[in-house]
Amino acid sequence: MVQPSSRPTGRALPAAPSVTGAALTGLVLAAGAGRRYGGPKALAITADGTPWLHLAVAALRAGGCARVLVTLGAGASDALPLVPPGVEPVLVPGWNEGIAASLRHGLGAAGGHGADAVVVVTVDTPTMPAGAVRRIASAAGPDPTDALVQAVYGGRPGHPVLIGRRHVPAITAAVSRDVGARPYLLANAAREVECGDLWDGADLDGRSEGPAQPSRS
């Protein structure tokens, strides 16, 4: 069972190993109100008290992201204490616009870190394994700055998504309200990488759907 967090936790997470030669920045989208869930998912925790934010950050770091950013909007003041050490919170003033605002602010902030590519995940996929991050990173090809890679699960698109830095300006201009990067990925022949053998790719919308045991591999 997953419930909103009632206490801050600042447990340090391990630094990312060097998985690929690319400089990767991870981005966790966590600014939404979580209306179907019943509250901001940035505040959600697992049954053992682990914040979903920590699980998302841990997967990105273990998958090869040296830097990680988290977008916050709804419930930001309560979510800030849950942001792991070393992770940069990105406040999204217009978070209620939809995922577009979170992507614009998050990708804009990530672009300032000089990364070759940004690996995007959502906070409501706390069971996503680091292996999915490693797999799409390894599929970025010889020039990750120009790469577009999306994980699919049984052919169904999901997260993580790798966005080369050359695509960031166009994506931030293209997204609108609740329309994220998917149309741009389709129009620009993003590489789809099957990850269904690692995980089912499902996001969590209901409080009763929380993971009993988060995936670590």
Q: Does residue 21 or residue 9 have the better pLDDT? A: 21
pLDDT of residue 1: 33
pLDDT of residue 18: 39
pLDDT band, very low/low/confident/very high, at 15 (cuts 50, 70, 90): very low
pLDDT band, very low/low/confident/very high, at 4 (cuts 50, 70, 90): very low
pLDDT of residue 134: 97
Strand pairing of 24-30 and 65-72?
parallel
**H helix runs in 27-181, sequence order:** 52-62, 76-79, 99-111, 130-138, 168-174
| 158: in domain | yes
**Tokens at residue 184, please?**
């741009």
pLDDT of residue 35: 79
> What's the total number of domains in the chain?
1
Looking at the chain, the number of H-run helices and the number of E-run strands are: 6, 9
Average pLDDT on 117-143 reads 96
| Lowest-pLDDT range of 15-19, 63-67, 132-136, 165-169 | 15-19
**Tokens at residue 1, please?**
């069972």
| 15: in domain | no
CATH code, 162? 3.90.550.10
Q: Which domain holds residue 144?
A: 28-198
pLDDT of residue 206: 54
For the chain, the 3-state helix, strand and coil shares in percent, each to the nearest 5, are 30, 25, 45
| 153: in domain | yes
